[in-house]
Amino acid sequence: MTYLKGFGTRRVPQSTPLPGQVANDAGGHAWAVDVWTRLRRFLILGSEGGSYYASQPALTRQNALAVEQAVREDGLRAVDEILRISRAGRAPKNGPALYALALAAGLGDDSTRKAALAALPQVARTGTHLFLFASFVEGFRGWGRSLRRAIGAWYAAQSPDALAYQAVKYRQREGVTHRDLLRLAHPAARVGSGNPTLAVSDEHARLFEWIVRGGAADGLPRLVEGFVRAQAASTARESAALVREYGLPREALRPEHLTSPEVWTALLDGMPMTALIRNLATMTRVGVIAPGSAGTAVAVAQLGDAERIRAARVHPIALLAALRTYASGRGARGRGEWAPVRELVDALDAAF
């Protein structure tokens, strides 16, 4: 009767589930979580790269089903959860929130779809975010009137100067451009064909016209004028002067001028926090950031500004990844190498 000794209540083998436990991807058992916990996990962690026990496609499918279940169960609560996590900057990347919002805008009931589209400007805060949302939403619905109106409202809500910055800095992502979205949304009578779905100012209409059809920058925000001049600049020195004159972002410049220390020195003065973190290695390679240099002092001061970090919604994991990558002296994916500057390593550690 010794075989009966294996069946008691004080010692349960790892391979045997306790009451209420379910099988997991590791081959063992764990306590089941509800759909809202799964939704929050996806919004914060995503599924990029998979996990130790589940491949990226398998984990993505599980998460997509969890998001859909939450939307079906209580769409308004799901939209509120998406909005809350995205606005608070709790996730290292905004892609999962944009995907979940696109799903809610396509598969939810009427009130859920309306809430999801109304939340779009607060979740899609940049042109890149809007492009990702547009690429996701086409997997769940067509370009009906409500979606066109929501995209048009995103553009119309921007001030002309802010919209010019979006048009210059975020020109395309995932094969989507501002020209594509404006032609679909028709936020002004001058753009595309058909009746306008949203009234906009004359200044907006002129800017939309330039984005869609190009042409002269007369009467447009100064940033557009600077962009046009930068695209025609023949030397890196000219590009650097235009950066200082117009406050141009890196994306407005010709690629061949982005190896110049003079250009990166000009860019560093007004560089946004996320761009600064992404380009530390490049600025070190070109010599703008070096031990005791003026560029190093500027970068250290910016990384020490806690309020600026919070305002930019920089996630601690993004800072930790930047710290580990920069300190290693080589990129994880590319072949670029650099000599890490100790002051920068310490500044990233303090920022984290």
Per-residue pLDDT tens digits for 3-43: 666 666 666 666 777 777 777 766 777 777 789 999 999 99
Residues facing 172 on adjacent strands: 177
Tell me what pLDDT residue 52 has.
47
Confidence of residue 195 (pLDDT cuts 50, 70, 90): very low
How many CB atoms neighbour CB 123 within 10 A?
22
246-299: pLDDT as tens digits? 999 999 999 999 999 999 999 998 899 999 999 999 999 999 999 999 999 999
Tell me what pLDDT residue 54 has.
52
Same domain, 137 and 147: no
Tell me what pLDDT residue 56 has.
63
| Alpha-carbon distance values, 239 to 106, 216, 272 (Å) | 44, 19, 19
Same domain, 69 and 94: yes
269-280 b/e with 16+ CB inside 10 Å = b?
A: eebebebbbebb
- Specify if 266 maps to a domain: no
How many angstroms separate the CA atoms of 309 and 244, rounded?
Answer: 23
Confidence of residue 188 (pLDDT cuts 50, 70, 90): low
Q: Which of 91, 119, 141 is the C-terminal boundary of a domain? A: 141
Using a cut of 0.75, tell me whether the model's pTM lies above it. Answer: yes
- Specify if 216 maps to a domain: yes
Same domain, 132 and 163: no
Centroid of chain to Cα 165:
16
Strand, coil or helix: 22: strand
Same domain, 128 and 149: no
Same domain, 186 and 124: no
- Specify if 241 maps to a domain: no
- Specify if 246 maps to a domain: no
Number of domains composing the chain: 3
Strand, coil or helix: 107: helix
Same domain, 214 and 287: no
Q: Which residue has the higher pLDDT, 57 or 216?
A: 216
Domain that includes residue 160, residue range: 143-220
Q: Which residues contact 105 (CB under 8 A, 6 or more apart)?
A: 113, 116, 117, 120, 137, 140, 141, 147, 150
Same domain, 35 and 132: yes
How many angstroms separate the CA atoms of 105 and 137, rounded?
Answer: 7
Same domain, 116 and 152: no
Same domain, 23 and 137: yes
Q: Of 38, 43, 124, 121, which is closest to residue 315 (Cα–Cα)?
A: 43
Same domain, 71 and 95: yes
Q: Which of 202, 220, 238 is the C-terminal boundary of a domain? A: 220
The encoded tokens of residue 98 equal 């944009």
Q: Which of 91, 120, 141 is the C-terminal boundary of a domain? A: 141
Residues facing 23 on adjacent strands: 29
Tell me what pLDDT residue 191 has.
45
- Specify if 102 maps to a domain: yes
- Concatenate the DSSP letters of all residues of 273-310 into one string: HHHHHHTHHHHHHTTSS-TT-HHHHHHHHHHT-HHHHH
Same domain, 100 and 76: yes
Q: Is the pLDDT at 115 greater than 90, yes or no?
A: yes
- Specify if 256 maps to a domain: no
Q: Mean pLDDT over residues 200-204, rounded?
A: 85
Centroid of chain to Cα 27:
34
Alpha helices in the chain (DSSP H): 35-45, 56-73, 75-88, 95-107, 110-118, 120-123, 127-137, 145-156, 160-169, 178-185, 202-213, 222-231, 236-246, 261-269, 273-278, 280-285, 294-303, 306-311, 316-328, 342-351
- Specify if 275 maps to a domain: yes
For the chain, the maximum distance between any two Cα atoms, rounded to a whole number of angstroms, is 94
Same domain, 54 and 103: yes
- Specify if 41 maps to a domain: yes
Most confident of the following: 193-197, 218-222, 249-253: 249-253
